[in-house]
Chains A and B, each alone.
Chain A
């Protein structure tokens, strides 16, 4: 969270993960365009409150019951719940991830048989939670989807492996390790999967350059993609 995320009365706290300054890659005193003064916070959707709508409340109730049956509390495990684009996301604290996943898989009212892998996301500005991991799940029995999100700080880049619950995540966790360097504790063989074994660095991190060379075509030179004008 950055300095912009000051809670104010009656308004939900913005989940600011980054603050961007300038545009077109313009920075510093040489700027006469005025675009260098632009400030844009990057805020993700804020936590949802009950009722979540649709069947999401049913899922949340089942999760709560399942966690209680396993001597856990909903509020301990789940940091917040996100509802956006008709999709439900549980933001789970990493130490409770494995229990949470077994609840999702095993509770008869949930039965999320299919884990669809894990996506790593690098938010360098989200201090204390720089690396997010997102697990989409599908229940074929109930025809529902849910998403579980967890995070770890860059200083302690460890997450529990859920391969013991969902063996399908074997390769997916290796991929997230390969691309982001997230260490999944308890994974049977956490090695690189896409990059060569002796590769240095983790390519999908935001501080890892894309690379590329300028290309000359019909007399004009096109710079590599990461050096072109940026509007974001």
Chain B
């Protein structure tokens, strides 16, 4: 910035920089803007967000415009950084679940499962997880995949002006959150999946409720599809928008529906199954358009695949334990859902306080100190609704993680904004970002 001169009007200034004259169009400076010398390059940089309804949370987009065409697009993130990875280094392995569930807040079950699978791998107890616990995990994850996709479709529709799609999406999601509330006591951030299994068995009546909900969802999920799939306006807003081909996806590390929209059937549930996914019958949905419309279709069809898996889970549920038998890992607490959420069952407290001192000591040690995990590192990935959710865990042999790192798919996929948006119209940026479906809680952690 050579010499800064302020041509003052009362409200706005324009000044010279090394990049040319800068106008801060904040009002009453139209004369100076119009007076720009002939041939001077017009370069408008627009800040979209972080507080903007169509950026899917606190995402800041910095767009350079030529008229209505985006010439450069960059993302600014970090507005929701909460230091979850650092915090987990000061909590026990089990307490970590409470943190990870809050990262990608639309897919808490996936965060929890990925984290717990990684711990179990490091402990070497993957084979000892009870069958029932794995089935419940899969069922919770698939219900969660539906609720996440429904929000993606709902907000994506809303951002392009299809408000009815939003109403439908949130209406259906509510049904799934009711199940979560019944099972874990909480609609979100439930910390339900724990190292060694799940925190408690399904309450009485849960299976029937899930069956009813699945039947209802089977009827209803098509409402959004019927509204949009052949809708001329929707097609005009999404077809050939936000194009990203396979090469682009691979270079940028993009996974999930965006990758499958290029025609590559990559799904970790099929290629590297965990939690017994190899036992379920479902299809990997792909599209070959590599655009916003293709990703939209994939999410719609994945709803149906998830419904199929949930139905199979219900059929596979056999009575049995839901927590590992190893008393050094599985919490002894008999939890139950009370009026104010999940907590210790009063019967269990009565028993350990009144009759069994050893049980009390064991409970106290395991809950306050936690279990030790052998030193080493593992990487565990699950297929979250947004792509590969990876956990890199490092243990120093202690009762706390030494380092936890989450490779959140939203974080990586957001890098594709520039590739998808540059050269497009500014209105299509909204469509492209909606199709990436970033969740800033996961991006920033």
A residues at B contact (CB < 8 Å): 17-18, 40, 42-45, 84-85, 87, 89, 113-117, 119-122, 134, 136, 138, 140, 143, 145, 147, 166-172, 175, 179, 192-196, 203-204, 210, 225-226, 228-232
Contact = CB atoms under 8 A, between A and B. Distances in A.
A40 B85 CA distance: 25
Nearest to A43: B375
29 contacts: A40-B397, A42-B375, A43-B397, A85-B122, A85-B376, A87-B379, A113-B250, A114-B250, A114-B255, A116-B381, A119-B403, A119-B405, A121-B394, A136-B390, A138-B388, A140-B271, A167-B252, A168-B251, A168-B252, A171-B415, A192-B78, A194-B78, A194-B444, A195-B81, A203-B86, A225-B87, A225-B91, A230-B400, A231-B400
Chain A interface mostly helix, strand, loop or mixed? mixed
B407 A136 contact: yes
Best-surrounded residue of B78, B124, B407 (most CB of chain A within 10 A)? B78
Contacts of A43: 375, 397
Given A119-B405, A171-B415, A45 B81 contact: no
B48 interface: no
B373 to A, nearest CB: 10
Contacts of A134: 377, 392
B378 interface: yes
Contacts of B405: 119-120
Nearest to A117: B407
A206 B319 CA distance: 45
A140 B239 CA distance: 28
B407 A116 contact: yes
B329 to A, nearest CB: 16
Interface residues of B, number: 51
Residue among B399, B411, B414 with most chain A CB within 10 A: B411
A125 B83 CA distance: 23
Contact of B253 (A42, A114, A175, A231): A114
Interface of B is mostly: mixed
Contacts, number: 124
Given A121-B394, A194-B77, A210 B86 contact: yes
A203 B378 CA distance: 23
Contacts of B407: 116-117, 136, 172
Contacts of A168: 251-254, 412, 415
Nearest 10 pairs of A and B residues by beta carbon: A168-B253, A232-B398, A119-B405, A225-B90, A194-B78, A194-B81, A119-B392, A42-B396, A136-B379, A231-B399
A45 B388 contact: no
Contacts of A17: 396
B370 interface: yes
The residue in A44, A114, A147, A195 that gathers the most chain B C-beta atoms within 10 A of its C-beta is: A114
A210 B402 contact: no
B272 interface: yes
A232 B396 contact: yes
A70 B187 CA distance: 55
B253 A117 contact: yes
B54 to A, nearest CB: 22
B215 to A, nearest CB: 36
Given A136-B390, A232-B400, A203 B251 contact: no
B154 to A, nearest CB: 27
B275 interface: no
B237 interface: no
Given A196-B78, A204-B86, A210-B87, A85 B250 contact: no
Given A171-B411, A204-B86, A231-B369, A121 B253 contact: no
Nearest to B374: A45
Interface in B241-277: 250-255, 264, 266, 271-272
